[in-house]
Amino acid sequence: MPVHIQSGLTDDNDFIKLVRTIVNGVLTRQSPDQVWIIHINNWFDHKWLRFSGYGGEASWMFSGSPGPARLDSLASRFDRVKGAFFKTKTTFPPFTPERVLGQWSFEKSGDEYVEFALPRVPHEAAKSHSETNLNRRLTHFSQSAVFVWYSANTLANGRGSLMVYSVSGTTDDCWFASFHRNLTWSLAKTKSISREKVLLLINPDVSP
């Protein structure tokens, strides 16, 4: 039984079918124990891929002219400045709770995936500072899972985005793809995956 992808009032049904085809192609190839499908309000771009959030980082600040002696004086100090983080150990993208329209979980049962309410969710309902996400690693959440984020409002926008994180043991694989609609939906851009691989997931019986 393939994983069902929810279609909301603002979603283009043909885009949902496209996402469903790609996701089930990924599951056929990887066969994870768990699957998470996450619906994100509006379009999101490739900059979200492996983005962990914003946090404070140390920066040298000096009072007066920083001569050699100043380096050893008590006037030298560390200050904190805001910086964007892309952690080596992959974490969940820090979408705000308002953007998360739905989260659905599935578990593998034989050759099928059955919808099952897992005890934890990738995105908490309560709003928190982005910095708290910096250590929410995927490998701490599950050792065998695929997480899928797909964009809403595709009817009005005429464009859609899809992001897939796969976890197996202590390793992960993450990629992004965007699509646009003319008469039909077509692949626009990819990041961390080749166009050929995405097209093969869309049309497994046709060589790109």
pLDDT digits (tens, 9 = 90+) for 176-192: 999 999 999 999 999 99
Residue found under tokens 């994180």: 165
Percent of the chain with pLDDT over 90: 61
The stretch 195-208 carries a mean pLDDT of: 86
Measured between alpha carbons, how far is 145 from 35 in angstroms, rounded to an integer?
5
Say if residue 62's pLDDT is above 60. Answer: no
More confident residue, 102 or 135: 102
More confident residue, 181 or 67: 181
Contact 174, 166 (CB under 8 A): yes
More confident residue, 158 or 205: 158
Say if residue 59's pLDDT is above 50. Answer: no
**Residues facing residue 5 across a β-bridge:** none
Mean pLDDT, all residues of the chain: 83
Decide: helix, strand or coil at residue 159.
strand
Percent of the chain with pLDDT over 70: 76
Sequence-distant (6+) residues with CB within 8 A of 159 are 43, 178, 179, 180, 181, 188
Confidence of residue 58 (pLDDT cuts 50, 70, 90): very low
Confidence of residue 89 (pLDDT cuts 50, 70, 90): confident
In order, the DSSP letters of 92-152 are -----GGGEEEEEEEEEETTEEEE---S--SS-SS---GGGGGG-BHHHH-SEEEEEEEES
How are beta strands 77-85 and 144-151 bridged, if at all?
Answer: unpaired
